[in-house]
Amino acid sequence: MNEGLYWQGMTLLDFARGPAFRWSVAIFIVGVIWRLTMLILAKRKRLEPPKGAPVAGGTKAVATRSTPPGELYGGLTTLLTRSAPAHELEKNIVFQHYSGYAWHISMFIILFLGTPHMLFFADILGFTWPTLPGWIITFFTVITMGILLVLFARRLMNPVLRKISTWDDYISWVIAFLPFLTGFMSVAHLTPFMDYETMLGLHFLSVCALLIWFPFGKLMHALVIWPSRYKVGAAFARRGVRA
């Protein structure tokens, strides 16, 4: 078959769907596995020797000690408890928190319940699932882009955020924004100075850029938070300290 190969007269769309995507997926996998392996295998410093024999009080008491079963329990629960803000900080971060949830939920709806995207995954996984009509996906795309723009404005206007923002933040924002923008413009056939196929090619290329940048920037939080939360929870799973 000719997928992924170069041929004379290849258009931008053919390149984006073909060789570009192949390479991006390869780089994505290399980067993700590399960073996750390193993260999981990196040793954390134990500050005191672990407790030895089981203690009176039953399983629950054991689970909260700093013995290995305790760590597991602590690690796993932290995966979930960190999804809600710490009670003391709630008032300060409520806007950020809920807009984050709105954004992520919209993003998953678009990514997994949009028919063209579902077909992309179906090709990899081998099974399909029901999807939503196009106009609903378009609605959520507008919401997603709106939230991103509001948060970007906030990042620029809030003095604290502005000071602590790095190149990583801005690059990750652009890379996250482009797939939604190009996808929306493709579906709506809003293609200034270019034709529909080129815009569709740019949509594929924006996803390629996302795949390449993902393992090396802040977007990696999508995968990193899980081992990270576990490790923190496991490390602090001991008497007297609520992680």
Partner 1 sequence: MAASNTVGDVLRANGVSRRGFMKFCAATASMMALPPSMVSAVAAAIDSAKRPSVFWLPFQECTGCTEALTRSHTPTVENLIFDAISLDYHHTLMAASGDRAEEAMYEEMEKNYGNYLLLVDGSIPTGDYENYSCTNGHSHLSMLLKAAKGAAAIVSIGTCAAYGGIPKANPNPTQAVGVQDLIKDKPIINVPGCPPVPTVMTGVLAHYLTFGTIPELDKFGRPMAFFGQSIHDRCYRRTFYDRGMFAETFDDEGAKKGYCLFKVGCKGPVTYNACATLKWNDGVSWPVQSGHGCLGCSEPDFWDKGSFYRPLSAAYWGDAKTVGISAAAGAAAGLAAAALARGKQKKAQQQEEQA
User: Residue numbers of the site for partner 1 (CB under 8 A)?
Assistant: 1-5, 7-10, 13-14, 16-18, 21-22, 25-38, 40-43, 45, 115-117, 119-120, 122-124, 128, 131-135, 195-197, 200, 204
Instruction: Kindly state the tokens that stand for 55.
Output: 């203690």
- Minimum distance from residue 18 beta carbon to partner 1 (Å): 5
User: At closest approach, how far in Å is the CB of 173 from partner 1?
Assistant: 24
Contact (CB, 8 A) for 118 and 129: yes
Nearer to partner 1, 204 or 230 (CB): 204
Provide, rounded to whole angstroms, the least separation between the CB of residue 191 and partner 1.
Answer: 12
| Radius of gyration of the chain measured on its C-alpha atoms | 22
- Give the residue with the Cβ less far from partner 1, 103 or 204: 204
Nearer CB in complex with partner 1: 97/117: 117
DSSP the chain: --TT---TT--HHHHIIIIIHHHHHHHHHHHHHHHHHHHHHSPPPPSSPPP-S--TTHHHHHHTSSSHHHHHHHHHHHHHHTTS--GGGHHHHHHHHHHHHHHHHHHHHHHHHBHHHHHHHHHHHS-----B-HHHHHHHHHHHHHHHHHHHHHHHHSHHHHHH--HHHHHHHHHHHHHHHHHHHHHTT--TTS-HHHHHHHHHHHHHHHHHHGGGSGGGHHHHHHHHHHHHHHHT-STT---
Residue 152 CB, shortest distance to partner 1, in Å, is 28
Q: What are phi and psi of 157, to 5 degrees?
A: -90, -30
Minimum CB separation of residue 181 from partner 1 in Å reads 17
| Residue with smaller CB distance to partner 1, 34 or 101 | 34
Least separation in angstroms between CB 171 and partner 1: 22
Nearer to partner 1, 58 or 130 (CB): 130
Please report how close the Cβ of residue 220 comes to partner 1 at its closest, in angstroms: 13
Yes or no: say if 213 and 35 are a contact pair by the CB < 8 Å rule. Answer: no
Residue among 107 and 208 whose Cβ is closer to partner 1: 208
Residue 64 or 141: the one with the smaller Cβ distance to partner 1 is 141
